[in-house]
Amino acid sequence: MYKVVEVTQEQREHFDDIIKEYPQCDFMQTYTWGNLKEKTGWVPFRLLFYKGEAVKGAASILKKKLPFSNFSFLYIPRGPLLDNFEDERVFESFMNEIKVLAKRERAIFVKFDPDIYGPAPVLKGYLKAKGYKSSRIRGNFSGLQPKHVCRLNLEKSLDEIFEGFSSKTRYNIRLAQKKGVTIKEGTIEDIPIFYELLEETCRRDNFGVRALSYFEELYRHLIEGGKGKLLLASYNGRYISGVLVIAHGPKAWYLYGASSDNYREVMPNYLLQWTAIAWAHQCGCKIYDFLGVASDFNPNSTLYGMYKFKRGFNPEVVEFIGEYDMVLNKGMYLFWNLAEPLYLKALVNLGKLQLLLKKNLSRRQNCDPAVE
């Protein structure tokens, strides 16, 4: 009655066009995103699920080998995509097909976190009854992907969207314009400039950062492919902030932001976001997604400033149902849940150490005449 087809490279545009048609459409479910993740050690698989000749579901699935073992896990970021998640027969049939792939790839579990808003009692009740495990809360955003995001409705005129912003946000956008902040569309030659700003941001906010090569690949896969923009703000002849935004189907996403410690008083980030929102509106997007905010909304949190900034644009705060795991090897799954926090902490600390060493090296070079 149902069949699954593994999508080939030649069918990538067809697959991405199908992704656009789903209400749960997400850039992380595109063929293109899987190609990018392949550069960072993931192995992508793409499946289309058919009933007869009709597509009933789709999934872009990433495989990650577990360290020091022959096992792996599969991850379906913001997926799978289905016509109706409350149709238990279709959902379970598709998950059974994914289980076949998982066993072939020696996966101990399959993690998924579809773009389904909470509370979704019917779906959550079904998942619990069928033995799917609700993943533990991890990190500031409660999962591999944020459980809470801010989404701005773009189905109105730009003037109406602007008037919906808080008075402070509107003031700061106009202030940046009045002060002479200018926005430029960046090219791949500007990625190192953006990356320097990103490193400065991560040092300031105590985050790790990916390698420069990752952002160069991101540009080649997404922005050169017409799916996004690199926008840079300059003031007094210096680049002081930037954003990477992408769009697919009815949605656009604010993917990365970076800013200098200098000239923050001229409010470049507000003008950058307004420029990105106007671009998404011009592309015909219905939603502009600011991505994650911390789940506790604690005013004392170091991430509360991020929340306040995004809230000034008057988006809706959306809560997803969160991550669920289909467990295939209970013993290894238990072990990994114990070991994973230590593994992730080591990776984060390594990223922070690399930033610190690079900063110290830069200081030494700037102070030592012998380097010249």
Task: Read off the pLDDT of each residue in 333-338 and give the average, rounded to a whole number.
Answer: 91
C-alpha span between 281 and 250 (Å, rounded):
10
Hey, is 154 helix, strand or coil?
A: coil
DSSP per residue over 111-127, as a string?
Answer: EE--S-BS--HHHHHHH
Same domain, 134 and 6: yes
Same domain, 8 and 134: yes
Per-residue burial over 298-314, b = 16 or more CB atoms within 10 Å of its CB, e = otherwise: eeeeebeebbebbbbbb
Tokens of 366: 């700037």
Same domain, 27 and 129: yes
| Residue 296 resides in a domain | no
Element (H, E) at 60: strand 54-65
| Residue 191 resides in a domain | yes
Supply φ then ψ for residue 154, to 5 degrees.
-105, 10
Same domain, 180 and 98: no
C-alpha span between 232 and 238 (Å, rounded):
10
What is the value of pTM for the model shown? 0.91
- pLDDT tens figures, 227-255: 999 999 999 999 999 999 999 999 999 99
Q: Which residue do the tokens 């604690």 mark?
A: 298
Q: How many CB atoms lie within 10 A of CB 53?
A: 5
Same domain, 6 and 75: yes
| Residue 371 resides in a domain | no
Same domain, 200 and 267: yes
Boundary-marking domain end, from 231, 263, 285 = 285
Going by C-alpha positions, the residue among 245, 267, 264 that lies closest to residue 256 is 245
| Residue 89 resides in a domain | yes
- pLDDT tens figures, 16-73: 999 999 999 999 999 999 999 999 999 999 999 999 999 999 999 999 999 889 999 9
Radius of gyration of the chain (CA): 22
Tokens of 239: 């680049």
- pLDDT tens figures, 133-184: 998 766 666 688 999 999 999 999 999 999 999 999 999 999 999 999 999 9
Same domain, 239 and 342: no
Q: Alpha helix locations (H) across 229-267?
A: none
Over 80: is that where the pLDDT of 355 sits?
no
Same domain, 221 and 330: no
| 8 A C-beta contact, residue 110 and residue 336 | no
- pLDDT tens figures, 287-330: 999 999 887 777 877 778 889 999 999 999 999 999 999 999 99
Same domain, 107 and 164: no
359 or 218, greater pLDDT: 218
| Residue 191: C-alpha distances to residues 60, 116, 224, 343 (Å) | 27, 34, 12, 29
| Residue 49 resides in a domain | yes
Same domain, 104 and 73: yes
Over 90: is that where the pLDDT of 365 sits?
no
What's the number of domains the chain is made of?
Answer: 2
Determine the pLDDT at residue 366: 44
Task: Read off the pLDDT of each residue in 201-208 and give the average, rounded to a whole number.
Answer: 86
Same domain, 65 and 118: yes
Over 50: is that where the pLDDT of 370 sits?
no
Q: How many CB atoms lie within 10 A of CB 272?
A: 26
- pLDDT tens figures, 84-131: 898 999 999 999 999 999 999 999 999 999 999 988 999 999 999 999
Tokens of 31: 């063929």
SS3 labels along 178-225: HHCCEEEECCHHHHHHHHHHHHHHHHHHCCCCCCHHHHHHHHHHHHCC
Q: Which of the 8 DSSP states describes residue 261?
A: S
Same domain, 108 and 232: no
C-alpha span between 187 and 230 (Å, rounded):
7
Boundary-marking domain end, from 285, 313, 348 = 285
| Residue 314 resides in a domain | no
Boundary-marking domain end, from 240, 265, 285 = 285
C-alpha span between 33 and 247 (Å, rounded):
12
| Residue 167 resides in a domain | yes
Q: How many CB atoms lie within 10 A of CB 4?
A: 17
| Residue 243: C-alpha distances to residues 119, 180, 229, 259 (Å) | 32, 18, 8, 9
Q: How confident is the model at residue 368 (pLDDT cuts 50, 70, 90)?
A: very low
Determine the pLDDT at residue 143: 81
| Residue 114 resides in a domain | yes
Residues spanned by the domain of 328 = 2-138+321-362
CATH number reported for the structural domain that contains residue 235 in this entry: 3.40.630.30
